[in-house]
Structure 1
């Protein structure tokens, strides 16, 4: 599997002066002392993918912050399709590289770019839905959104067929309701039909179109200036070729002179060739003027006919409050409206009868979807509960609540209210995830859901920000194994404080904070061999790192890599 997030470049963001981090596949962790800036990396990545900016992120003394993320979307058809639909792909670049850049000015303005083209924040957010998902201790993450919980349930149950039927029934119902509303609010149909027929009598005779009016104007200008055009064409033909001392003859004399001197000095040969080409072009221009003269014939009768037809265009355009160029489109609009009103499909009685049928078809489709959702909810609730309990939440209980509401407005997603509810302690009633779960509990619940729905995630990159807060020992190792399992299918990043998690990673970055010249800066380095063991030893704890601590760290890393 190729990495999707290839690199991240950050300049003058928070306490980061400038860093570039390159990434690989698998499971990557970031560790470091508290306050070193580990989560800042995720904050910067969130910013480049559409999060709202605060000028406070601009590093002290800098004029702007700049964040650039480079992705490989060669194996991401959803992202490629989105880029193509919005004209932000590069047809000449088959590398699959996607570059997203965000600038935050200290003055308060913000700019974004996708593959070098200016982009809006809503475009960044829409594109990010095909790239990555951030799971952390923040209430704004996607798992808390009702739409995301609904999508999770539908995806887990593979309810595409049921959803498609509901969507089609919703569209059919909406179309009939719109037709009825249009007919009910309009004037008497017979009067409208008569008015349309009257208007179309004149327009049908004219048969207007934008191309016809444009050609009329051109032909009118040519015919009105026919005498002048003939005079100028004839004069040009004479001066270029046919008349005495024409330009053609004058160049002929120049050619003879250049030909004679070229015999003595070959440097004049190029000038001779250029004049020879000019003479040929003059003759061709003269011939063109002569041909055009033959095509132009003053015709007062044709001029009058053109003038009358242009007047008809302008008169009808004024009558219908449009432009002569837009008269053709307006004509087609009236034709379509009359056909619609004369169609039996738009008879109000028939539409009312069809409306009742459409309502029943939608209700049946929504009910079938609701029943499948309720069945799926039981299985998903049990699966999430079983997955979250080993993550230090031994008494947690997850419930996916599906509440049918037939009184809700018919929509493309059905009429169910879907809510993910949890209880974290024995005897506790389940409540909304956003209100019951703490930051760490929310993050670990997100992790459990990702493991349960391993095949359902629509994005190739998953970021977990301190999902191991408040845990340790065997639970931390379980979290690490869960993340490692995800990394077999996705590119997984995790900010961690737990050595048990870090030891299982394929790549380990250390984030550190230094003070230089009175300024605090954050740095990021990739750890290997002894440096990685030293960091694991630091994470294991203790003011002083002893040989025993380092031996423990070495053993933990060896076991972690063997399990990997």
Structure 2
């Protein structure tokens, strides 16, 4: 609970220091005195977003410091935890927009400050009544009356639901990756088989191109030798036949010097025969035409298959193709494994969905019971707030699907005389909403109450006996958590253990504690508008002596 509050430069407050000691504390003052500046300061230290307009007109920055008695706080680091049950928070903000939040003398993000203050300070204004209209808020209030069983079941549902969502996300991600892999490697098995048949290496294409070039050169040479052999050996017009005819003709004509002619003719014939034999030998060494064609076809088929695969896959080199094949083999193997993984995930998700549904139904049963208990408590307190004519109830609306917090909505209903229940927002006046809010605060479990609960004119619109009854209830609430009430009701102010007054002097707002005669004068002012009125002073003194109750005449 809050013990000390120091304010500098907020709203109309240049500087103020408050020390709280009572359970039920009231803050009073004339309209326009600056009570709203005090509320802004409390909101500021609670983590509300700051605005330059919150700073006093004569100041460049503002600062609020709070000292609180606090239990350990869930969700924040150990170094920011209360020391010997003491928590110190400080926050500053400048017109330039720079701010600083501090916990236990260490700078922290604003979110950490707000998290630390959630269990220590809660501010309820007339606008807090609107919170009663929020389904989530209504659900939280119902759960607060469900005890440890409901809390544990709600936590279990949240975990199982989160696990189910995580499993669904895994399924979606796995299916997406499988789809991408199947698309990318569509037809890969056939490609892999072809590459294995080709026995592809990074240098295969160059080697096959060189082999094809050698075969084509050999083919050209074979054609050349064939043509040469035909020219040499044609029986009618071949070179050998013509050469022999010419030799016979020359032998008959060259009788003089016949030896030389004979030798020359023999040499010519022998050379032609040797050339013919060499051509024949070269032809035989080059292999048959069938062998050459077969070798050429085999290499062309391999090159053609390789190039088709490259074009189809838009791959430029054999090395890239080999890498693609390796990746494809790995992905095909992964696709086989992931099919089993997907089946397992789908079974897991199905099991989690069933478990979620079962937990949600159990939670609904507990909530129904908790809603009935909360309704009973609220109606009991409403009777003590002069609303015995109204019946508060809580409607549990089943939903078709399970959410993280269950499978139902909660609706706060109010039935007025001779009327069917309607949502509180449609059926309750502002004063009735104020009393319902007080009744709810009184009805929830202690674990839902903060260290300090601040009501900002929440009793506005109430008067006479109703205001007095509201005061009794607020004083009762203060026995469970420190309760600070900003009020215009003299009867309620007279019930407090501690009383602060807000006054405005020029552009400055002052806040000070009153007791004794000073408090009597403030109560008198609240009663009649004149703190010096004898009748009002006597009335104020009587109220204080009777803790807000009107004296019996």
Q: TM-score range by the shorter chain?
A: 0.5 to 0.7
1:475 to 460, 466, 483: 466
Please state if 1:360 is matched with 2:354. yes
1:399-457 Cα shifts (integer Å, max 9, x gaps): 322211133xx43311211233445x545665554565555443332211111125342
Structure 2 residues without counterparts, runs of 5 or longer: 186-330
- C-alpha change, 1:105 and 1:436, in structure 2 (3 Å) is farther
> Partners of 2:411 and 2:96 in 1: how far apart?
41
Trace 1:415-454 onto structure 2 (pairs within 5 A): 415-422=407-414, 425-426=416-417, 430-433=421-424, 437=428, 439-454=430-445
1:231-288 Cα shifts (integer Å, max 9, x gaps): xxxxxxxxxxxxxxxxxxxxxxxxxxxxxxxxxxxxxxxxxxxxxxxxxxxxxxxxxx
State the Cα distance separating 1:48 from its structure 2 match.
1.5
- Three-state SS of the structure 2 residue aligned to 1:463 is strand
**Counterpart of 1:372?**
366
Please state if 1:17 is matched with 2:14. yes
Normalised TM-score (structure 1): 0.64
> Partners of 2:335 and 2:46 in 1: how far apart?
48
- C-alpha change, 1:23 and 1:35, in structure 2 (3 Å) is same
**Counterpart of 2:510?**
523
> Partners of 1:101 and 1:142 in 2: how far apart?
28
Trace 1:40-439 onto structure 2 (pairs within 5 A): 40-73=37-70, 76-77=71-72, 79=73, 81-85=74-78, 87-89=79-81, 94-139=83-128, 143-158=132-147, 159-187=150-178, 347-391=341-385, 393=387, 395-407=389-401, 410-422=402-414, 425-426=416-417, 430-433=421-424, 437=428, 439=430
- C-alpha change, 1:38 and 1:393, in structure 2 (3 Å) is farther
- C-alpha change, 1:131 and 1:542, in structure 2 (3 Å) is closer
1:200-258 Cα shifts (integer Å, max 9, x gaps): xxxxxxxxxxxxxxxxxxxxxxxxxxxxxxxxxxxxxxxxxxxxxxxxxxxxxxxxxxx
> Partners of 1:420 and 1:457 in 2: how far apart?
18
- C-alpha change, 1:544 and 1:67, in structure 2 (3 Å) is closer
CA RMSD of aligned residues (A): 3.3
> Partners of 1:364 and 1:160 in 2: how far apart?
16
> Partners of 2:514 and 2:10 in 1: how far apart?
23
State the Cα distance separating 1:522 from its structure 2 match.
1.2
Trace 1:495-514 onto structure 2 (pairs within 5 A): 495-514=486-505
- C-alpha change, 1:471 and 1:366, in structure 2 (3 Å) is same
- Three-state SS of the structure 1 residue aligned to 2:404 is coil
**Counterpart of 1:488?**
479
Count of matched residue pairs: 402
- C-alpha change, 1:161 and 1:344, in structure 2 (3 Å) is farther
Contact 2:468–2:548 at 8 Å: present in 1 too? no
> Partners of 1:454 and 1:399 in 2: how far apart?
18
Contact 1:135–1:141 at 8 Å: present in 2 too? no
State the Cα distance separating 1:529 from its structure 2 match.
1.2
State the Cα distance separating 1:63 from its structure 2 match.
0.8
State the Cα distance separating 1:19 from its structure 2 match.
0.6
- Three-state SS of the structure 2 residue aligned to 1:497 is coil
- Three-state SS of the structure 2 residue aligned to 1:62 is coil
Please state if 1:7 is matched with 2:32. no
> Partners of 1:165 and 1:344 in 2: how far apart?
30
- Three-state SS of the structure 2 residue aligned to 1:186 is helix
- C-alpha change, 1:347 and 1:542, in structure 2 (3 Å) is closer
Contact 2:468–2:549 at 8 Å: present in 1 too? no
- C-alpha change, 1:443 and 1:528, in structure 2 (3 Å) is same
- C-alpha change, 1:437 and 1:139, in structure 2 (3 Å) is farther
Contact 1:39–1:495 at 8 Å: present in 2 too? no
Please state if 1:558 is matched with 2:520. no
- Three-state SS of the structure 2 residue aligned to 1:368 is helix
Contact 2:178–2:335 at 8 Å: present in 1 too? no
- C-alpha change, 1:439 and 1:116, in structure 2 (3 Å) is farther
Structure with higher Rg: it is 2
- Three-state SS of the structure 1 residue aligned to 2:178 is coil
